[in-house]
Structure 1
Amino acid sequence: MHLFYTPDIQPTHPQYFLNEEESKHAIRVLRLNVGDKVQLIDGRGGLYSAEINDAHPKRTILQINSVTTAYNKRNHYLHIAIAPTKNIERLEWFLEKATEIGIDEISLIVCQRSERKEAKTDRLNKIITAAIKQSLKAYHPVLNEPELLTKLLTHEFGGQKFIAHCELGNKTNLKQAITPGGKYLILIGPEGDFTPKEIDDALSNGFKAITLGESRLRTETAALEACFEANFLNR
């Protein structure tokens, strides 16, 4: 069944009008017609079953038949802060796969050794949207605009805070540090890793140093490994 992302829909709506872009896709590309069944997701946990009442290529009208709230809601909250990679396609790959696995929030952080300090979040959000549709996720992860690591470290966060780095020192395996059913913020540094001062600053702000294994991982691989482990440990 075809799935559409409709962030402005409300559970009380008896009908919904697809915008021109989605209507054109539904009628001209997918060749849907009156009576065809579709599903909608609002990005806030709502999954809607609907039927086409008017197959108009500019303003398709859908009849809402049923609504499921908190669809596949997970028992934890995962926020990964990652330094954008020099090759933006690697970051895009991470966003796609992390969304499919399960993630709630992504922050893009600018570090001292960052090779990329800007990112077009409009395009990155489209990749996330495509991934939630592909994997039938009713929750749309939040993508925050790039900001300095020093600023993010001071944000209030009511959960466990971790920093993954490759420097020597006392570090705990993520699987031993996580409390199931909680909220987690995990920092993943740039290709050159965090500087010793950045690590010290994070520790001073309540972050706990973790390791993701013995291998030296690429930025996007480390972030995906952290995402997978957090989800696996909460099954």
Structure 2
Amino acid sequence: MQLFYNSDIELLTKTYSFPRDESKHIVRVLRKQEGDTLHITNGKGYIFKGTITAAGQNKCIIEIKSFEQQAPLPYYLHLAVAPTKSNDRFEWFLEKATEIGISEITPLLCDHSERKVIKQERFEKIIQSAMKQSLQAHLPKLNPLASFKDFINDASCEHKFIAHCEPTKKNKLSHSAALKKKVLVLIGPEGDFSPEEISSAAENKYIAVTLGSQRLRTETAAITACQLISFLNDN
């Protein structure tokens, strides 16, 4: 099944016209014709089934015939991750986390961050593409870049964790995260969180956790945390 995305489609929508680039892709690449079926999600939990009524390369139109609601994740996972120096590595994280299952992502500006600017629009498109490719109907929320200090003072969650590499007492994330709950995990930059940030997180009730015995890259640590929470809630 080929899944398309448009946030404006609602339950009462009767017809939808694809933008020019998607219309061209549908007609020329996918070779769809009038009468063929297409599926669209609005990223809010619904997948709509429609029939093509006009197969133009500049405007492909479908008539919405039915819709179904997809169940959300049995948990809520929010990862606050410092963007990597290499954009490609952070984009890989966004793609894979969306495929595995994540609810919210916040790029985090830390003391040791080497990348201080992000491409919000590009990141949004990568998440949308991964959602469509994995046939999901819930679009993860991508927040703007936030400073560590502002974030930990404002963020609220049932279970808050910080994964760092300092040789202090830490719990295993797999043993600490509760099932079917809201979970927030902080993942630091290549140079790890600063001692001041780790101390500040502890003061704000974040529990220090480890993701394993190996030292992981930022994007690998984020995916490991994502997979651990997914695995815990699937078993």
Question: TM-score interval w.r.t. the shorter chain?
Answer: over 0.9
Aligned equivalents of 1:158, 1:174: Cα separation in 2:
16
2:108 is aligned with 1:109? yes
Alpha-carbon offset, residue 28 of structure 1? 2.4
- The aligned runs of 1:58-77 (5 Å cut-off) are 58-69=58-69, 71-77=70-76
Alpha carbons 1:19, 1:58 under 8 Å: kept: yes
User: Could you say which residue in structure 2 is the equivalent of 1:8?
Assistant: 8
Amino acid at match of 1:56: G
Alpha-carbon offset, residue 150 of structure 1? 0.5
Alpha carbons 1:72, 1:137 under 8 Å: kept: no
Alpha-carbon offset, residue 47 of structure 1? 0.8
Question: Matched residue pairs, number?
Answer: 234
> CA RMSD for the aligned pairs?
1.0
SS at match of 1:186: strand
User: Could you say which residue in structure 2 is the equivalent of 1:147?
Assistant: 146
What are the ranges of 5 or more consecutive residues in structure 2 without an aligned counterpart?
Answer: none
Aligned equivalents of 2:146, 2:157: Cα separation in 1:
20
Alpha carbons 2:157, 2:184 under 8 Å: kept: no
User: Could you say which residue in structure 1 is the equivalent of 2:30?
Assistant: 30
Aligned equivalents of 1:206, 1:41: Cα separation in 2:
38
Aligned equivalents of 2:38, 2:71: Cα separation in 1:
18
Aligned equivalents of 2:25, 2:40: Cα separation in 1:
14
Alpha carbons 1:125, 1:143 under 8 Å: kept: yes
Aligned equivalents of 2:152, 2:72: Cα separation in 1:
28
Q: TM-score, normalization: structure 2?
A: 0.97
Aligned identity (percent) is 46
User: Could you say which residue in structure 1 is the equivalent of 2:216?
Assistant: 217
Amino acid at match of 1:58: N
User: Could you say which residue in structure 1 is the equivalent of 2:161?
Assistant: 162
Aligned equivalents of 1:52, 1:72: Cα separation in 2:
27
1:35-72 Cα deviation digits (max 9, x unpaired): 11111111111111111011122222111121112x14
Q: TM-score, normalization: structure 1?
A: 0.97
What are the ranges of 5 or more consecutive residues in structure 1 without an aligned counterpart?
Answer: none
Aligned equivalents of 1:2, 1:231: Cα separation in 2:
25
Alpha-carbon offset, residue 190 of structure 1? 0.3
